[in-house]
Amino acid sequence: ITGVNSGTLNNITFSNIENLIGGNLTDNFIFAGGSIASFDGGGGENTLTGDSTIDNTWNITGVNSGIINNIAFSNIQNLIGGNLSDNFIFAGGSVASFDGGGGENTLTGDSTIDNTWNITGVNSGTLNNITFSNIQNLTGGNLSDNFTLAGGSVASLDGGGGENTLTGDSTINNTWSITGVNSGILNNNIAFSNIENLIGGNGNDSFSFVAGEVTNIDGGEGHNTLIDASNTPSTWNITGVDSGNFNNINFSNIKNLTGGDLDDSFSFTNDGSLTGSLDGGAGNLTLMGDELNFTGTISGTGSLTLQPATSTQAIRIGGTDSGNTNTLDLTSAELSLLQDGFTSILISGAITLAGDVAFSDPVTLMNSLGSITHTGGNITGSDNATITVEANQDITTGDITTDGRDITIQSATGAITTRNLDTSGITDGGNIRILASTQITTEQINSSGRFGRGGNVFLDPSGDIQVSSINAQGGIFGGNIDITTGRFFRATDTFTGASGLNSSISSFGNNSGGSITIRHGGNGIIPFNVGDASINGTAGAITSSNFAIAPVQSFLFTEVVGDIQIISIPSNLTTSDLIAAANSVSVDDPVNPSFNTIDFTPTQTPPFPTPDSEDPPRVPIDMGLAGVEFRFTNNYQQYLGSATNSSQGSTNNSFQNSANNASQSSNSNSSQSGINDNSQDSANNNSQGNNNNSSTATLPEIQETVTNIEKQTGVKPALIYAYFASPGYYTQQSSAESLSSYINNLAKPSDQLELILVTSKGLATRYRVDAATRKVVEPVAEKFRRELKSRSKIGDDKYLEPGQQLYNWLVAPLKADLEEQEIENLVFIMDEKLRSLPLAALHDGEDFIVEEYSIGLMPSVSLLVNTDYVNIQESPVLAMGAKEFPASLSRLPGVEIELGTIYQLRGGALALDQKFTINGLTEQQRQQAFRIVHLGTHAKFKSGSPDKSFIHFYDQPLRLNRAAIQGLGLNNLPVELLVLSACETALGNLEAELGFAGSAYQAGVKSVLASLWDVNDTRTVGLMARLYDELAKVPIKAEALRQAQLAMLNGEVYIEDNQLFYSPQQSGIALDPDQEISKEDLSHPHYWSSFTLIGSPW
């Protein structure tokens, strides 16, 4: 057909013929630039070829019939496209075959039926048993289309409407890349779209998610892999054998899973298992489940966390599967599948060590709630694996061995029992640190380095230590050995040391030996015996390189031989000192000391009604206040170790002076001027033995301080004492035994919460909070802390319920008085288990408390270093800190930015990294006494003695005992504000709370700003920058902190494009380029409520 209704038939020219009909045999109709009204093929097997001068559109509407370019045809079995693009569309019809001809051609399936496509050759195959060829693009209809690659290929597949499926080629290994919603590329050259379901072939298929999603993936036969290449955090659920879902995408017959560059979390149900390998990619990897069933390797380059899905589920590490459904079994065989390359490994839960296990990366075994027990097996670390074991309660292990890497074992409240601990190495030995709340029992400790440096050994419980021996020798340098026990130390065995002596302890080094320090609790009564380890001593010699103490020798007092120190008490103590020391030592059984159960507390009338007395909820009080103030003061002094020597610190406040004046004027220790409490007389008598230089603030003195602050600053403060009323405890007529302890041994779950409100005017007021007992309040306080501490909870507001309940207990009963007196600043003086509350996040149901009041935490008024007000609005800052540490401490990349910003805002002096030393701080304060000292570094308030808490300088930690921290000289001026910007506290722990809330008194400074939990140091920069900005504008420190917290709450402090913005008036601060933070909201109270102003808030 060459023209309009014209052309040739068997070389016979025709024209003006609108309709063409074939004969009974084969007819071949060819468009060659012309057109007619209709074709009828007649009988036979007929063919219609499209026009090669145009793009043809074919619609097959009936059996062998349809329309081409608006020209009807019928009885045409075979269709052939032209040389340009042809589009064949099934619309209810069928033909015998299609040939697309030349060009880029498309075949669209029938929208009235489910279509089945088989691609068997290059651009060829069958559609519903209809053969097609030279078709580059396939498009499904409106119902379900099923495309199967069977040795062929096309340029593209479009599923069209409906629920469509694409099955990979079973003759090859298929590679799938999902790049959009139901779309992607198969085998690098077949684009597909509108395909909801993907099925692999019989070979090994690899499915990679770059972006987008599909509904289902079936790997088919073979060893198939699913890969997350989306660069987003992903959640995987393994619910069956090699099946589950990934970011809401169902998968099955997938043996291998690979995570992306960000964090991946894999959750196993009890029926879920993986028969292939699991690769966490570059991000952090978490495996969670009450059963983790895998038989392939586990690999990755980020961190790895293994934990049960149910928090109470026990974990059994090592050995074989127990078969117990209530236990997460991590067998020796399974753990051997962990591949080398993780930055760290964490296994968290109720752990039992049941068999030999080996790790090749740094590993931490942790039970933050209970114990870690041992029924068999040893732990071995190879390559760069350090071994850390942490638990809240007791820890028991077998042998722990590393290849010259560190071992750390720490129990917050219990004892530690191990077999041999070995960090020896061919070159250097690793460090060994064991910290227990009660006692340590272990066997051989070996941190030797054959050709290099021996590792350091650090042992620190409150009770006994027993080891077989300690070998910290080095080919060049010996390691340091530091042992501290409140009771006795025993080294029961010997080895032949490098010095040739049979040694129990050796730090020998060919160039230099390490120092050896043993602090024990013999207190001049129980000697330390070298040559007798039955009670307190060593079986063999103690040797360094140049010094040795050989058997048999006995030391009742402190003994120093070169770099070997055995520390007890000095030999030049007075008789009364020795009697006091003797009273502190129990020798009936040094391993399991008994406790005296006799109650020495005399029968007495409490200074105010006890909880079982009948009194109205709210009553004026001028007597009970002194009892609470005295008891809180004594508790801190007993814990912080200052009760016998407070005058050597800087507790030189007005209460101290008034006490001294009173005793001088009356020549008696039984009275004090200005005391309104009858019980105060006996308080002075009873406290004389403990603290000859301390006094308890009275109500008039406290109110005078509050009044002075109000006059000098224009801010109206109020003090809120919150305590559980234990009958007989808050009285100063207590026994020496009671006064020598910081623990309330009269505490009962039924003790009721009481509040005392003190303002500048009128009487103090006590309020008993109905139904708020110790048993009820403490769990709510713990939940409040827990919901705010974890960064993983930033997305929710579960803290609000406990926050509102605590507000109703601690503040709401006093609200009328606070409003009546127009109070602006609240200072809380709290009982145990309440001192580590993030007070700024208390909530009244509509607003946070910090939206109405500035907040402070005070140990007691009597322990304020100084009550004089000093304005620091223009005071420069001594800003010091470190972003890198030579010790095994995490980097603080935000510290350099933080210190630089503060220095620009306030001026002063700046010291970073190597310049951040104890000597550097003391020398700087000697040259110029700064009123503000800011330390950007790790600081921790831990359970146990104050010696266990520390501030870490660049090269060493500073233990937070009173002598060490006051050696810094911060009490000379004194410092008005000490800021610890990267601080962490053992929340809910009695000793950690005492250390935290008593930090200003301990340091001899007026105020400390510290955090209750570890807030990311980069995010902390925002609060610190805004704080110093506000300090220049407001009269008191607590208000500056409040304004900084409000700025974060209101979204004025945020991160965008890796810049931190802390004030609308200031430009952004460029962050560490390695962090790459695109945008982050810092308004959640996790970021700002942990920061607490301690001591004087003014």
pLDDT digits (tens, 9 = 90+) for 313-367: 999 999 999 989 899 999 999 999 999 999 999 999 999 999 999 999 999 999 9
Distances (CA, A) of 180 to 100, 175, 216, 760: 29, 16, 14, 68
Arithmetic mean of pLDDT, 735-746: 69
Are 894 and 843 in the same domain? no
The answer to the question of residue 392 being in a domain is no
419 assigned to some structural domain: yes
- C-alpha distance from residue 689 to each of 627, 685, 729, 739, 916 (Å): 18, 8, 19, 10, 40
User: Can you give the pLDDT at residue 744?
Assistant: 84
Last residue of a domain, one of 555, 578, 594: 594
pLDDT at 606 over 60: no
Quickly tell me which residue has 């146990």 as its tokens. Answer: 944
Q: Are residues 441 and 576 in the same domain?
A: yes
Higher pLDDT, 659 or 45: 45
DSSP 820-839: HTT--EEEEEE-TTTTT--G
Enter the pTM of the model: 0.54
Q: For residues 1018 and 1028, what is the distance between their CA atoms, to the nearest angstrom?
A: 16
Q: Are residues 906 and 1039 in the same domain?
A: yes
In a domain, 846, yes or no: yes
Q: In what order do the strands lie in the sheet with 416-417?
A: 395-396, 416-417, 440-441, 465-467, 489-491, 537-538, 528-530, 553-555
Q: Which has the closest alpha carbon to 519: 571, 480, 462?
A: 462
- Whether residues 584 and 443 share a domain: the answer is yes
Q: 249-252 and 216-218: which strand pairing?
A: parallel
Burial class (CB in 10 A: 0-12, 13-18, 19+), 288: middle
Q: Is there a single domain that holds both residue 14 and residue 153?
A: yes
Average pLDDT over residues 692-719: 85
The answer, yes or no, to whether residue 682 has pLDDT greater than 70, is no
Torsion of CA 709, 713, 718, 720, to 10 degrees: -80
Residue after which a domain boundary falls, among 132, 161, 193: 193
Question: What would the pLDDT profile of 11-39 be if each residue is shown by its tens digit?
Answer: 999 999 999 999 999 999 999 999 999 99
The answer as to whether 19 is a domain residue is: yes
DSSP string, 78-124: EEE--SS-EEEEESS-B-SEEE--SS--EEE--TTS-EEEEEEEBTE
For residues 574 and 681, state if they share a domain. Answer: no
Residue 312, pLDDT score = 86
Given a contact cutoff of 8 angstroms between Cβ atoms, the answer to whether 254 and 217 are in contact is: yes
Same domain for 103 and 62:
yes
* Closest C-alpha to 196, from 211, 220, 216, 174: 216
Judgement on whether residues 568 and 625 belong to the same structural domain of the protein: no
Mean pLDDT of the 375-387 span: 96
Report the pLDDT value the prediction gives residue 668, as an integer from 0 to 100. 28
Q: Name the domain boundary from 157, 172, 193.
A: 193
Bridging pattern class, strands 145-149 and 115-121 = parallel
Which of 185-189, 710-714, 892-896, 1046-1050 is predicted with the least confidence, judged by mean pLDDT? 892-896
453 three-state secondary structure = strand
pLDDT band at 760 (very low <50, low <70, confident <90, very high): very high
The CA distance from 983 to 1010, in Å, is 6
What are the residues whose beta carbons fall under 8 Å from the beta carbon of 1024, sequence distance 6 or more?
898, 901, 902, 934, 979, 981, 1044
992 confidence band (pLDDT: 50, 70, 90): confident
Residues 533 and 678 placed together within one structural domain of the fold: no
- Identify whether the C-beta of residue 396 lies closer than 8 Å to the C-beta of residue 373: yes
pLDDT digits (tens, 9 = 90+) for 1051-1074: 999 999 989 999 888 888 988 887
Domain hosting residue 1028, numbered range: 877-1095
Lowest mean per-residue pLDDT among 275-284, 403-412, 691-700: 691-700
- Judge whether 343 lies within some domain: no
Q: What is the pLDDT of residue 996?
A: 73
Select the more confidently predicted residue: 489 or 1016: 489
Asked if the structure places residue 320 within a domain, the reply is no
pLDDT of residue 678: 30
Q: What pLDDT does 731 receive?
A: 60
Cβ atoms of 1010 and 1092 closer than 8 Å: yes
> What is the CB neighbour count within 10 angstroms for residue 1051?
11
State the pLDDT at residue 624. 64
Within a domain: 307? no
The verdict on 1012 and 1091 lying in the same domain is yes
- Are 846 and 988 part of one and the same domain? no
* Nearest residue to 697 via CA among 864, 858, 829: 864
Q: Closest Cα partner for 387 from 428, 346, 356, 330? A: 346
Q: Dump pLDDT digits (tens) for 933-978.
A: 999 998 888 887 888 888 999 989 988 877 778 778 777 667 899 9
Phi/psi of residue 365, each to 5°? Answer: -105, 125
Residue 686 has pLDDT above 60, yes or no: no
Cβ neighbors of 572 (< 8 A, separation 6 or more) are none
Domain count, the chain: 4
- For residues 780 and 808, is the Cβ–Cβ distance under 8 A? no
Looking at the structure, tell me whether residues 444 and 569 fall in a common domain: yes
The answer, yes or no, to whether residue 695 has pLDDT greater than 50, is: yes
Over the stretch 149-188, which tens digit does the pLDDT of each residue have?
Answer: 999 999 999 999 999 999 999 999 999 999 999 999 999 9
pLDDT band at 603 (very low <50, low <70, confident <90, very high): very low
Mean pLDDT, residues 695-702:
84
Residues 6+ apart with CB under 8 A from 902: 877, 879, 934, 1024, 1025, 1028
Lowest mean pLDDT among 228-232, 323-327, 657-661, 901-905: 657-661
Establish if 14 belongs to a structural domain.
yes
